[in-house]
Structure 1
Amino acid sequence: MFIKRSLRAVLFITLAVGLLGCDAGVQPRSSASPETAFQDESSYRAFLGKLYGGLVLTGQDGPAGNPDLQLIDEGFSQYVRAYWQLQELPTDEAVLAWGDEGIQPLNKQQWTPANPFVEAMYNRIFFQASMVNEFLRQTTEAKLNERGVSEDMRQRVQQFRAEARFLRALSYWHGVDLFGGMPIVTEEDEIGLQSPTPNTREEVFNFVEQELLAIEDQMPAPGAAEYGRADQAAVWMVLSKLYLNAEVYVGEPHYEEVITYTDKIIGSEAYELADEYMHNFKADNHTSPEVIFPVPQDGEQTRTYGGTTFLGHAAIGGGTMNANNYGFGGGWWGLRTTSNVVNRYPSDSTDVDSRAIFFTQGQSKEVGSLTSFTEGYALPKYQNVTTGGEKGENSTFPDTDYPMFRLADAYLMYAEAVARGAGGSMSKAVGLVNDLRERAYGDPSGNITASELTPEFILDERGRELVWEGHRRSDLIRFNQFSENGTWSGKGGSIEGTTTQGFRDLYPVPESQLQVNENLEQNPGYGGS
């Protein structure tokens, strides 16, 4: 597994190149020469490993002690954890009980530009882009010629560069979704000469689209990449996500393109549904045939307090919930669901729909208090045990990878685009949805007909299939149910839930960024400039 095996070399490269955050205002931590760092040709692969590692690792020591980002708890700053919290906590899917600064405002949709988790995500996006930019600067033809790099490595570096651009596009897609417009900084920009100027949301959208289309044919074929690395299917997933939400991002629908790219993923036959739904969320999910792009974690080599460490531990706790049953040494008493989630399933019983994995003993269905862990059902989805019942190597840091993209999502995106009248095959769309429901129910009893396949049904089905996978905020915004419509426990600061203002569909530019870059403008509704 690429990231896991490359960890030690990755850390040395990060220090040697001195690239940390050059484009985002973070000072480099080493003056070591790149020429020294790249004397060994294996350094190119290790550097690429650091780019992938940026999605899971938080610093140079792991799990904590020498962070990439300052001024926030290192575990809080982890990429997946920051992204997941911004996508899930302000929605009907998740509530977090803790009192750490910034968490309850996320639960309530009352965040400000000073929210530390909003700042962490914004900085992570630019940290990733910064690393990619430096990698691209260090792998030009001129640089490879200067160093006398072998022909074999030159060929590999070309693919490495495409993968790096994918990772940068992935982060900028997260940026256009969460923040709208933001500065596009590439390897062509000179380091440290001036503060970057902002780009519009449409410009960021176009940049992500153009980057992905440019590298599409340079990536490994679907299913052919080393585990933990991106292939063409991962590129097509980001394109599908970009087009699925295009009407939100740029004011015009691109559902036909959603059909085009999800059809490519499905038609490649490189991925297939796992026999069991929970195979995608257990300690051996690296063997699931369904996961298209994982963020690998390992109890011994990629330790972090974010990712599935957070998602696993925070979802368990309480007097009746045994953390050991889920492969963890203890629970953090934090995450649970609202009744909106529970009510989307046909029954409170967990034996009807296998995706309804609620822990109910000692938990109330309704959330009467945002800060009480026993209010709201627990949802132990990310588990540190294998499908065979064996525990992970470490009871604190799981072996469970975070499935950022999986085939089920491609099925549902295709079906939604068809339901919205964008073309495609209705019979195929119904069949794809029923494939998911047959797996969930264990038989065809939950199957639907063409007349039942509506966009509104798909929104609910996405909530059932993809609960707690970091998609809900984007889905609700696409259906105009995130802010001005739709209510759930805690929304708007009311325990019963109230609507909020539409400007909440975007997060603010962090106050810390406005202070250091006078070119930036605050998103509407948050005041300032």
Structure 2
Amino acid sequence: MKPRFKIQNTIGIALLLFATLTSCTDDLDIVPNDDQTVLSEELFTNEAAYKQVLAGIYANLALTGTDGAENSNLKNIDAGTSQFGRVLLYVQTLSADQMIWSYENDPGAREIQRNTWTAQNPLLLGMFSRAHLSIALANNFLRETTDAKLDARNVSTTTRTDIVAYRAEARLMRAMAYYYMMDIFGKANFVTENDNLNSFPPVYERGQLFDFIESELIAIDTDLIDSRQNEYGRADKSVAYMVLAKMYLNAEVYIGENHYTECLTYCEKIMDGGYTLAPNYLHNFMADNNTNSAVNEIIFPIVSDGTTTQNYGPTTVMVNGQVGSLEENGLELGVSKPGWGGALRIRKQLANLFDASFADDDRNTIISADRPIDITEISDKDTGYIIEKYSNATSTGSAGADQTFVDTDFPLFRLADVYLMYAEAHLRGGGGTISDAVGYVNALRTRAHNPNTISSGDLTLDFILDERARELHWEAHRRQDLIRYNKFTGGNYNWAWKGNGSNGISLPSHFNVYPIPTGSIAANPNLTQNTGY
């Protein structure tokens, strides 16, 4: 089993460095459009600081500031609307056909889930800003670990050997941030460690971002730690392969080119890395998913700890939000009995994917008793089904350390997604074999104790889209999947409350990317608004 490293193991120093890296950046009032941050030379008199500065890059995915869950280091942005995993969940899942948020007075939520967003939406500003902060932190680490600086500090050979992998990880985290910017907004402020400070950065469009991300991830391959050989919570080769595979799967959306062969190739590289499915599907979403059998399936998590990394991240939101207004099922989910009082429910389109043939499927955690399937009024928390996919309980039956802030890591990437990407890439002409594609789908069904395995004649693109929803719902993939299938905008597929219609209405095509936040444009005059907004 791979060694386990949680960010909270070194959180004291990481938080201090997180503050150092961000507190002197005036541009973070809106968005870090350059990298005006300075690290003290005194900091690096202890060579252990290099690993701690690297930890700060990872910490930005989980934390919003240095003073608890209510604190944000992005001024004028609420902590809850700028936590990386939470805003990613909102823009990728809440905007689509799987989730409803009851409390529409929460800034930005109403517009995201009704597809009526504008450039003033605070959740979009949070996503744009948090991703760019990841880029800024990575750039700073790379500036502080050049050969010239390491020579000047007389850094030991042992530490310099470690820094080779650290630098590759920083470049990977930066590439991943640019990947999400490319997918969500279609453009980004583009800065690397080689650019001059105190200037307005250029803006890269999708094609430029695609080329940069691809070249970066290929270039760092030899320096990254091998798959499943890094400490838990840190990235390795397979995380880079995952970003590449997902980028290639969606390449027709991003750059109008077919890269399904490359997608399938990188799926195979990940599968060759030694990952295996957790025997129990729900182990992936429990409070001990950093130590139970899920560690063999989760390729990269956003870490969460109910004591030392308290935050309003995606798993805290989902576990508390799953507590039904009628059921009060919080105790079995490892949080307080009332939880957040019916904050989250599912739209009927997700419920309908779990018909009678999925009654005993482990992926079906729907609670429907005493509830209508339709949500005719979003504020009525007693309507619509609820689910219990995520939990703050452990695989051995104990509860997490805190009854609000959960211990459950968010599985940003996991092996099941790779299996389904392989099957889809094969159907789209990417190579591989039909027998392998069917085998991977059936492996997921068998793991879920669903006796309804498929044959080659059942494997179609529409089947894959539905199976992705059954396997990967509430894991921040759905918007991207629907766009790839030409079902997010337009009227080919409507879901409850799409476009602010109770039964769904068509969306204009420019909604396939989000608007650039008004505040971000104000921070960098080189940024222009996306077409249609």
TM-score normalized with structure 2 length: 0.94
Query: Deviations for 1:125-173, whole angstroms, at most 9, x for unmatched residues?
Result: 1111011101100111111111111111111111100001111111111
Q: Aligned match of 1:106 in 109, 112, 117?
A: 112
Query: Deviations for 1:329-380, whole angstroms, at most 9, x for unmatched residues?
Result: 1411311111110111232x97422111012234321111122222221122
Instruction: Tell me the residue number matched to 1:46.
Output: 52
Instruction: Tell me the residue number matched to 2:161.
Output: 155
Q: Aligned match of 1:405 in 402, 413, 418?
A: 413
Is the partner of 1:226 in helix, strand or coil? coil
Is the partner of 1:38 in helix, strand or coil? helix
Instruction: Tell me the residue number matched to 1:312.
Output: 319
One-letter identity of the residue aligned with 2:363: R
Alignment of 1:405-444 (within 5 A): 405-440=413-448, 442=449
Q: Kindly indicate whether the alpha-carbon contact (under 8 Å) linking 1:94 and 1:335 is maintained by their aligned counterparts in 2.
A: yes
Instruction: Tell me the residue number matched to 1:343.
Output: 352
Instruction: Tell me the residue number matched to 2:68.
Output: 62
Is the partner of 1:182 in helix, strand or coil? strand
Q: Kindly indicate whether the alpha-carbon contact (under 8 Å) linking 2:345 and 2:384 is maintained by their aligned counterparts in 1.
A: yes
Partners of 1:521 and 1:18 lie apart in 2 by: 26
Query: Deviations for 1:251-304, whole angstroms, at most 9, x for unmatched residues?
Result: 011000011000111123x11011111000001111312111111111111110
Q: Kindly indicate whether the alpha-carbon contact (under 8 Å) linking 2:33 and 2:132 is maintained by their aligned counterparts in 1.
A: no
Q: Kindly indicate whether the alpha-carbon contact (under 8 Å) linking 2:32 and 2:132 is maintained by their aligned counterparts in 1.
A: no
Q: Which moved more, 1:383-392 or 1:471-480?
A: 383-392
Q: Kindly indicate whether the alpha-carbon contact (under 8 Å) linking 1:23 and 1:126 is maintained by their aligned counterparts in 2.
A: no
Q: Which moved more, 1:475-484 or 1:29-38?
A: 29-38
Q: Per the alignment, do residues 33 and 90 of structure 1 end up closer, same or farther by CA in structure 2, a change over 3 Å counting? A: closer
Instruction: Tell me the residue number matched to 1:228.
Output: 233
Is the partner of 2:200 in helix, strand or coil? coil
Matched, 1:6 2:10: yes
Matched, 1:300 2:307: yes
Partners of 2:21 and 2:298 lie apart in 1 by: 33
Q: Aligned match of 1:514 in 521, 529, 532?
A: 521
Q: Which moved more, 1:309-318 or 1:458-467?
A: 309-318
Matched, 1:392 2:396: no
Is the partner of 2:269 in helix, strand or coil? helix
Partners of 2:205 and 2:39 lie apart in 1 by: 36
Partners of 2:22 and 2:439 lie apart in 1 by: 51
Q: Which moved more, 1:312-321 or 1:223-232?
A: 312-321
Instruction: Tell me the residue number matched to 1:363.
Output: 371
Partners of 1:47 and 1:153 lie apart in 2 by: 14
Number of equivalenced pairs? 520
Alignment of 1:66-465 (within 5 A): 67-98=72-103, 99-192=105-198, 194-268=199-273, 270-286=274-290, 287=292, 288=294, 289-329=296-336, 330-332=338-340, 333-347=342-356, 351-440=359-448, 442=449, 445-465=451-471
Gaps of 5+ in 2: none
Partners of 2:418 and 2:431 lie apart in 1 by: 16
Partners of 1:369 and 1:103 lie apart in 2 by: 15
Identity of aligned residues (%): 40
Q: Kindly indicate whether the alpha-carbon contact (under 8 Å) linking 2:24 and 2:37 is maintained by their aligned counterparts in 1.
A: no
Gaps of 5+ in 1: none
Deviation at 1:399, TM superposition (A): 1.1
Deviation at 1:317, TM superposition (A): 3.4
One-letter identity of the residue aligned with 1:284: D
Partners of 2:53 and 2:455 lie apart in 1 by: 50
One-letter identity of the residue aligned with 2:326: G
Q: Per the alignment, do residues 226 and 20 of structure 1 end up closer, same or farther by CA in structure 2, a change over 3 Å counting? A: farther
Deviation at 1:27, TM superposition (A): 10
Instruction: Tell me the residue number matched to 1:15.
Output: 19
TM-score normalized with structure 1 length: 0.95
Q: Kindly indicate whether the alpha-carbon contact (under 8 Å) linking 2:367 and 2:387 is maintained by their aligned counterparts in 1.
A: yes
Deviation at 1:75, TM superposition (A): 1.9
Deviation at 1:16, TM superposition (A): 3.6
Partners of 1:263 and 1:502 lie apart in 2 by: 33
Q: Per the alignment, do residues 378 and 110 of structure 1 end up closer, same or farther by CA in structure 2, a change over 3 Å counting? A: same
Q: Kindly indicate whether the alpha-carbon contact (under 8 Å) linking 2:32 and 2:136 is maintained by their aligned counterparts in 1.
A: no
Partners of 1:399 and 1:293 lie apart in 2 by: 16
Instruction: Tell me the residue number matched to 2:484.
Output: 478
Partners of 2:454 and 2:36 lie apart in 1 by: 59
Following superposition, which runs of at least 4 residues in structure 1 exceed 3 angstroms of deviation?
Answer: 15-33
Is the partner of 1:395 in helix, strand or coil? coil
Partners of 1:184 and 1:493 lie apart in 2 by: 34
Is the partner of 1:292 in helix, strand or coil? strand
Query: Deviations for 1:70-97, whole angstroms, at most 9, x for unmatched residues?
Result: 2122122100001110001111111111
Partners of 2:223 and 2:33 lie apart in 1 by: 33
Q: Per the alignment, do residues 26 and 366 of structure 1 end up closer, same or farther by CA in structure 2, a change over 3 Å counting? A: same
Partners of 1:112 and 1:424 lie apart in 2 by: 42
Deviation at 1:2, TM superposition (A): 3.4
Deviation at 1:312, TM superposition (A): 1.1
Query: Deviations for 1:434-487, whole angstroms, at most 9, x for unmatched residues?
Result: 0001112x25x2111111111111000000000100000000000000011311
